[in-house]
Amino acid sequence: MTHANLLSPPSQIPPPTALALSQKAPLILSTSPTSSLPWPLSLLFSRETPESWTIHENLFLSALRTGDEASALTTLERLEARFGEHNERIVTLRGIYNEATAQGNADLEKVFDGYEKILREDATNMSIRKRRVAVLKALGRTSDAVTALTALLTNSPTDAEAWAEASELYASLAAWGQAIYCAEEVLLITPNAWSAHAHIATLHYLSSATNNTPNLVSLAMSLKHFCRAVELNDSYLRGYYGLKFVTSKLNALLSEASSTSLKRNTQDDDDVPVPSIETVKKLEELATSKLAGIVRQFKSGKKGWMGYDEAEIIAARELLDRDAKAVR
């Protein structure tokens, strides 16, 4: 299990970790980071560090997640006392608290109206705009959420986080074209993000998987982006997993196409060269050996290889086993 750390919370927080995180509340709330002395002395004897406020914020979020609203409120009051009620970030945290404590959709609508009011006063409050999208999503109004998000993106087109959210929202509606467009915008802002490359490759693969006839161009695009992901990160488990997965599909398709002597480059709008079968085979070999190496090192518990998620390792192992069976 990933250990619970409030300063830099893990990238995945399953319920047990969330519980462990919020159980730290009494300890952290028992001492105040700010000094209670009058003004000039409080500057000298304050024990606060930038980390204490990150910890408070994370504690607030995990307390809300586990339903510990009393601790969440205490933490929020501390943050408000320190940074003022009108700080953008604090206003957002207050909004999250209201969302969490809302009973039913009617209450949530009220929180939403509150956000509208804040935005009428200050339309540039980006985090409140993001909260609006989150509330719409929570209410199940995905298409409204998409509209709100596109409005946000029109005003702030360099927000990679918002583009990523838009990509996922479109993907959840199975609108692959739009999802890919948004993911490409993410790449324009963060061209070296290996996870963004893996994401766009997944989208390309899914867009071809949902069609009845597998689309060679989509698979080639997917292959290209998975290759870039592992080029940017030479131990990227998800990248190698995807590379192996896509190459095995492409392999089957290409050998089928060559046996029926079908011309590969018949697509007229085709600006993506479909790779040759030799290249695909070589890539598959590379991905297999890399995946096997990662799985082996993780299983042997070698120091310096324990950063992977266990579920991902298990999935990679299954993929390798399936492949080995097919060969036999």
Partner 1 sequence: MAVFGTALNGAGAVLLTHAVYSTHEHTATFASTPLPLDISLELLVSILLLSLGIVVSFAPLKPIQYAQWAGQLSREGRHGEGQYTREGEEMLSEGDPYAFLGLDGGIGGKGEGRRGFWDVKGKRREYEDWVRQGGKQ
Q: What is the DSSP letter of 275?
A: P
Examine residue 90 and tell whether it contacts partner 1 (CB under 8 A): no
Examine residue 251 and tell whether it contacts partner 1 (CB under 8 A): no
24-53: contacts with partner 1 (CB under 8 A) = 24, 27-28, 33, 47, 49, 51-52
Taking CB under 8 A as the binding criterion, the range among 37-45, 132-140, 262-270, 272-280 that sits at the site for partner 1 is: 132-140
4-23: contacts with partner 1 (CB under 8 A) = 5-16, 18-19
Amino acid in position 61: L
Task: Locate 268 and state its tokens.
Answer: 């007229």
Amino acid in position 147: T
- Burial (Cβ within 10 Å: 0-12, 13-18, ≥19) of residue 23: middle
Q: How far apart are CA 297 and CA 291, in angstroms?
A: 10
Examine residue 87 and tell whether it contacts partner 1 (CB under 8 A): no
Which of 59/250 has CB closer to partner 1? 59
Which of 46/255 has CB closer to partner 1? 46
Taking CB under 8 A as the binding criterion, the range among 75-83, 195-203, 254-262, 265-273 that sits at the site for partner 1 is: 195-203
Taking the complex as a whole, the smallest distance from the CB of residue 320 to partner 1 amounts, in Å, to 18
- Site size toward partner 1, by CB under 8 A: 75
216-235: contacts with partner 1 (CB under 8 A) = 231-235
Q: How far apart are CA 183 and CA 221, in angstroms?
A: 13
Examine residue 316 and tell whether it contacts partner 1 (CB under 8 A): no
Examine residue 134 and tell whether it contacts partner 1 (CB under 8 A): yes
Q: Long-range CB contacts (< 8 A, 24+ apart) of 67-76?
A: 68/22, 68/25, 69/97, 69/100, 69/101, 71/22, 71/25, 71/26, 71/29, 72/97, 72/100, 73/97, 74/29, 75/25, 75/29
253-312: contacts with partner 1 (CB under 8 A) = 304-308
